Amino acid sequence: MTNWIGEKLSAFSGPIDLKKALLTISIALILITLAGGCKAASPIWPATASNPIGFEEENTSFSYEANTQGNGYSMNYMYAQAGNVELKNYAHGSGSINNEAVLTYQNLSRRTHNAYSDYNDFDQNCIQFKEDNVMTYAPMRIAVGNGYYAASPLDYSSLLKEKTWARNYRAGTSMHHEVEYAHALNKELEITAKEVFNYTYDPEKKGDGYTKMNINEDVTDGKAHIGVLKAGKEFSYVLGRTGLTGDDVLFTVGWKEPSIDIDEDFFGTYHIERNITLDVPYYLKQSSDDWLPCCYGGFSSMTSKDQGYLGKSTKGIFDCTCFKAPTQAQFPRSY
């Protein structure tokens, strides 16, 4: 099961019991990990003569909602990966925070390998993230526990930072947004990254990679970055996230041969709105000859591939030129 960590550390303004806090966080992380509903059908795998239907399905869903208000120092880290789509969100800073966030996740994989029909592989993966975040920077002094740091409070003076990116390896796409060194941030963010892949072994293959990022924010005395990258090479048809369907897509092929490359940086105080959507569908339908092709025109009507595979020595067999009708019986009938 895909591992991910996501938890808002609520801001605090008074002394707390550090042991109890760590225990509470540990229990919360365990509950978050177990919250996803994982449903897997009992596999009948692989297909055999006595059991011709081979079927396997795994469907994992996850939902996470957060609401945080307070003053102090906060830090959060969130990561999710489903099939060929991936999302990461990270933020920290001292001061006040008013945050609402929702993360939803689906990872569906289905395999149907029937001995008497075409095999079929189907994948559907989706990650959605919505956030409404208001942060204001302020230096903070926080007493921790009941020992030395209770009498000697910690000084936190951390400017605001938030970083979010989404990657869709099905489409060879990366979208990135980051705010750092800010004194105030008021942001609404919405991200969707999903893929669908349906492969019927001979003759149809369908793929679609969809990625969206909407931003509406006000940044005060900080730096904002927006980046979009689309690899020039097509990857919607690739079966899985291996080789060039993994990080190589974005960090080698993407940078060297991009079809879309957007890089924006803003320093100071800005109001920023961006609506970015990229959809990369793929469709292929083709048929191939049977393992032993039938032809009405003899050897010359076969495809060059089949001719090369069978070899010229078989020409006489398919043209029937190797057969000569006998002029007389080899074994005369005796009466």
Q: What does the pLDDT look like over 71-81, one tens digit per residue?
A: 999 999 999 99
**Cis ω before 46 (30° cut-off from 0):** yes
Give me the residue label for tokens 């679609």: 208
- The verdict on residue 1 lying in a domain is no
pLDDT at 46 over 90: no
Range of the domain at 306: 291-335
Question: Which of 31-35, 245-249, 309-313 comes out lowest in average pLDDT?
Answer: 31-35
Quick check: 248 pLDDT over 60? no
pLDDT of 166 > 80? The answer is: yes
Does some domain include residue 270? Answer: yes
What per-residue confidence (pLDDT) applies to 201?
Answer: 82
Token readout for 69 is 């208000």
Residues 280 and 296 in one domain: no
Q: Coil, strand, or helix at residue 240? A: coil
Can you tell me the mean pLDDT for 167-180?
Answer: 92
- % of the chain exceeding 90 in pLDDT: 43
pLDDT reported for residue 285 = 82
Q: Which of 60-74, 191-205, 317-331 has the lowest mean pLDDT?
A: 317-331
- Between the CA of residue 36 and those of 2, 30, 52, 84, 103, what are the distances in Å? 10, 11, 33, 19, 12
User: Does residue 44 register a pLDDT over 60?
Assistant: no
The domain tally of the chain equals 2
- pTM of the entire predicted model: 0.69
pLDDT of 293 over the 60 cut? no
Last-in-domain residue among 260, 285, 310: 285
Nearest to 184 by CA among 145, 215, 220: 220
Structural element, H or E, at residue 163: strand 160-168
Q: In the chain, what is the straight-line distance between the N-terminal and C-terminal CA atoms, in Å?
A: 82
Quick one: 270 and 312 in the same domain? Answer: no
